[in-house]
Amino acid sequence: MEADIVGKASPYLLMLQSKSMVLKALLCLSLISFFSCMNKQHFALAASVSSNPETKEEAEALLRWKTSLSNTSQDFLSSWSLSGRPCNWLGITCNEAGSVKGLNLTSIGLRGTLDDFKFSSLSNLSFLDLHDNELFGNVPSHISNLSKITFLHLGFNQFTGRIPHEVGKLVKLNVLSLSTNFLQGSIPSSIGKLTNLSTLHLGINQLSGFIPPELGKLKSLRELRLNLNNLTGSIPASIGELIGLKVLSLYGNQLSGPLPQGINNLTNLTLFFLSNNSFSGPLPQTICHGGILQDFCASNNRFVGTVPKGLKNCTSLTRLRLDRNNLIGNVSEDFGIYPNLDYIDLSYNNFHGEVSPNWAKCQLLTSLKMSDNLISGEIPPELGESSLLHVLDLSSNNLVGKIPNELGKLKSLFNLTLSNNNLSGAIPTQLGTLPDLAYLDLAANKLSGPIPRELGDCSKMYYLSLGNNELHGSIPFEIVHLISLQVLLNLSRNWLTGEIPWQFGNLLKLEVLDFSHNKLRGSIPSSFEHMQSLRAVNFSYNDLEGPIPSSKVFEEAPIEAFQNNKGLCGNHSGLKTCPPLQNQKDQCSVLLIVTPIVGASVLLSIIICVACILYKGRKKSGNELRDSSQSNLFSIWSYDGKLVYEDIREATEGFDMKYCIGVGGHGSVYKAELSTGQVVAVKKLHSCLYSELEKKTFKSEIWALTKIRHRNIVKLLGFCSHSQESFLVYEYLERGSLANMFKDLRQAQDLDWTKRINIIKGVSNALYYLHHDCKPSMIHRDISSSNILLDANYEARLSDFGTARVVKHDCIELTGLAGTYGYMAPELAYTTKVTEKCDVYGFGNMLLKDLLDKRLEDPTPEVAEEILTIMKLAFTCIDVNPQVARQSTETRTAGSHHQCQAFIPLPTRPQQTGQQQPATGSYLLVLQITHEHTHIIQKMHQPRPHSKSRSHVLQQTSHYIK
């Protein structure tokens, strides 16, 4: 058929078909020829690489070094194997010929030595960076075989021994860093042969000996760091020939002598560190001649003379340290205005003059230190304009006048030290507005007036020294709010009067306390027994009396800490023994018997009459006792009958601290096993003196609390009330507080999601009962994990409710407020109205901060849905209207709400004020709905299309909460 078709075609068509076939054939031949050539070249190149003896030798050298490293290190280098080319291995770069030119293995935890590294096999290696690993042993001398090396960084390892002299053969080196190792011996003079060197880092080792003069030959050197070694001698004059030097760091050695004159030639210096040596003589007057010096530190030397003239106009300065020398000069004339200055320390010199207001023009200044000089005059109020100032230390000078109120503008101030001057007047109340103030030392001045109550607002304060002044009045109660106080609280050598607030016992971090040389009266509060961090106390030269607290720091303190008082006693070798409490078996109170010579018989008659009245009072019924404010007899109402006062004291051995299981703002909780075998929790309230009306109110409200009966509220079994020893008796819960469980990682993990949800429901039920079923309703005021106890079955019990209502208000830890910081509703900070909404806020905050903890495994889908519902509820509970708060609260609340919205799809709703916060009934209803409709929630656990899974959302939210 093909012949027929061809035969029928025209001659012209046959000619076209013939040409087309020829072209196709030629094209095919061309393609075959091209690919054949390419394959030949590829196979030739591959054969060349595999047969290249140089590449093979490099691979073998690298693999041999790998096998000498630790097993873990070999795992890091898993790509190093014969099955691949070295150019594809981790950290290796090659040149065009396929030879290794760079090795970069920084910060991967390599452990081993360089002894088996055959550097001679890496003849083309120009870059070697092994810093920040765990390499040890010597720097091998055969490292000199790296003839082409330009960059060598072995710093931040554990190399020992000496720097090999052979390193001087690496003449192409631009960078040599052996810093932060344990190298010893002297610096090899052969380094002076490395004329191409621009960076030499040998700091933070144990090098000794002199600085080699040969380093002056390194004309290309830009950085020379020899700091923190044991170098001795003086700076060689040849260093002055390194005119291109930008960084010279010699601090932390044992160098001595005057600076060489050639230092004035180093006009390109930007960093110049000479601190912590023994240099002497004057500082170079032309320093900063080049106008680019940024950081100059010459502290802790023996420099003398005046401040270099070049420093006055050195506007490039960012940091200047001249402290601890013997320099002289006028601080108001020898220094200029530095627009870039961040830190200056002129302390411990012989400077005179006055503090210039020009320092306020250094707008970037964060630290100004001029202590221990001869500076006089007043503190310029213009310093209040230095808005970035963190540290202001003008101590140990001759300053006079008042402390400027303008210092209260320094909102970034962390440390204010003005001690050992002649400052007078009152302590500015504005200092209490400094949110970051943590270190305040105003001791040894002539300050007068009372201690400002506002200082109690400095919540970050860990050091407070106001001693050796002329302060008077009582110790302000607000000082007890400084719960961060740790290093020192010194109020000694003033004219302070009154009693020591017992709430000082809440300063649990405090280590040193000095109230000596005042006119304090009363007793040392027993609450000081709880201050377990105390290691030194001094109460001498006051009018104190009574027992000292029963703790180690008091019992082992020197007798000088208590001398010259009115009548201190207690368990101390230098003090008399305290008389025992009298009539404990017959009455709950101890009567103070005054027996002056005149009128003793009259007083005795009065005492007998009072005793008779009290005895008759014991015969009255429980209702009569509740209404009588004159009774001093001890009674406890409980379901088990009358508990004996002595039984509780014997069970706790007189409230010995070894039985203490918790300390709070209102009292300490003790575990007591009674003679009947019953275990109870006894909360001993901090001692406060009550009026007769307050005693009656106390008993009336306690009686109301005994009527509360709910499965999720701790049972109040009874109480004891008298002027020296008041306590409440509760049922004992085995697992303690929820807060303590969260402190223990294992116990926290035992609280799985199901248990936590049940705890939430239990607390919700308790609050609903208090708010809606109690007539009249009761407000807890301190909903936090510390006040939630768990029984053996992890059943929640709300505790400590109503305590803030029954304790005298000026004896509560938070003046005017009752509650735990971080859990109180924000409106309590700016209004005195307390409603059930405050409990709702605390409940929501507790959910977010404590119970929704990220340390657990991801919950099951159905539990995750339930938790998400609870989280929405929690955010609703803490949602307050920022418009009614102060500005600080406005920012915080609004910001928090915005972040919450980013994680949880809250329904759109108007902002809720404190009056509009959800009441307990609404959140109980939500929890009940969640509990009763679990089967519906289970069907909803699958992720919606194009959305994150519930567990992922929960994980994100838990991270935000923490």
Tokens for 64? 């041999």
Residue 561: alpha-carbon gap to chain centroid: 33
- Both tokens of 239, joined, read 């260093």
- 372 among known catalytic residues: no
- How would you classify the pairing of strands 679-685 and 667-673? antiparallel
Report whether 809 contacts 816 (CB < 8 A): yes
Taking alpha carbons only, the member of 373, 425, 363 closest to residue 394 is 373
- The encoded tokens of residue 245 equal 């030097």
Our CA dihedral for 55, 58, 63, 69, rounded to 10 degrees, sits at -160
Tell me the CA distances in angstroms from 331 to 288, 348, 351, 352, 423, one per residue in order: 19, 13, 6, 6, 20
| Residue 143: strand, helix, or coil | helix
**Catalytic site residue from 393, 782, 800, 839:** 782
Q: How many DSSP H helices and E strands does the chain contain?
A: 19, 47
Gyration radius of the chain's alpha carbons? 40
* Beta carbons within 8 Å of 558's beta carbon, 6+ residues apart: none
Task: Supply the DSSP string of 106-130, one letter for each residue.
Answer: TTS--EE-STT--GGG-TT--EEE-
Cα 6 from Cα 345, distance rounded (Å)? 106
Residues 6 or more apart from 189 whose CB is under 8 A from it? 212, 214
Which secondary-structure segment (H or E) carries 327? strand 326-330
Residue 501: both structure tokens together: 């607030």
Place of tokens 């992922």: 952
Q: For residue 486, give both structure tokens.
A: 């740790």
Provide the CB-side half-sphere exposure for 922 (13 A, CA): 14
Q: Phi, psi (5° rounding) for residue 798?
A: -80, 130
43: its two tokens = 């196979």
214: its two tokens? 């040969």
Q: Collapse the DSSP code of 184 into the 3-class scheme (helix H, G, I; strand E, B; otherwise coil) and give the result.
A: strand
Sheet holding 567-569, edge to edge: 521-522, 543-547, 567-569
The two three-digit tokens of residue 58, written as one number: 């490099």
Amino acid at 809: H
CB atoms within 10 A of CB 153: 21
Please, which residues bridge with residue 232 across strands? 254
The structure tokens listed for 161 are 């021994």
Closest CA to 900 of 920, 918, 923, 877: 877
Q: Return phi, psi of residue 880, to 5°.
A: -115, 160
- Cross-strand partners of 160: 138
Pairing of strands 727-731, 788-790: unpaired
Instruction: Give the other-Cβ count within 10 Å of 18's Cβ.
Output: 9
Q: Is the peptide bond before 404 cis (omega within 30 degrees of 0)?
A: no
684 annotated ligand-binding residue:
yes
Would you state the structure tokens that stand for residue 213, as one six-digit string?
A: 């003069």
547 upstream amide cis, omega within 30 of 0: no
CA dist., res. 491 & res. 517, Å (int): 9
Per the DSSP assignment, residues forming a β-bridge with 207 are 185
- HEC per residue, 398-455: EEEEECCHHHHHCCCCCEEECCCCEEEEECCHHHHHCCCCCEEECCCCEEEECCCHHH
Alpha helices in 459-545 (DSSP H): none
Give me the active site residues, please: 782
State the binding site.
Answer: 684
Q: Which residues are annotated as a binding site for ATP?
A: 684
